[in-house]
Amino acid sequence: MAGFLGTKEVLTKERVKEILRNKEYSYLEEKVSLLEVRDDSLLLKISFLIEYRKRMISIEEKEPITIALKDFKIEDWGDGIRKIADIE
């Protein structure tokens, strides 16, 4: 019997993907951590924290990812007022 509050939703990875895709969360925190700089690449750890129906759900990569620095757009903004130049 479900009771007067209804049945408690059991979350699966598919349901969490659906929650993210449909933006059913009320809070989203995105975090990228730079773990290491290797030669010409960056080692990153990405995680998300969402609030869904008063439940906090943490989504975190199992393994860090490596991304080549050449895949990033790098700009020199000097004192922050306007872009000075692209960095090659």
Percent of the chain at pLDDT above 90? 76
What confidence tens digit (pLDDT) does each residue in 40-56 have? 999 999 999 999 999 99
**Which of 28, 38, 25 lies closest to 65 in space, CA to CA?**
38
Average pLDDT of every residue of the chain? 91
Give, as one character, the DSSP assignment of residue 11: P
**Which of 51, 42, 65 lies closest to 11 in space, CA to CA?**
51
How many other CB atoms sit within 10 Å of the CB of residue 65?
13
**Which of 4, 32, 9 lies closest to 19 in space, CA to CA?**
9
Residues paired with 66 in a beta bridge: 43
Tell me the whole-structure pTM to 2 decimals.
0.74
What confidence tens digit (pLDDT) does each residue in 8-17 have? 888 999 999 9
Domain boundaries, given as residue ranges, for the chain: 13-86
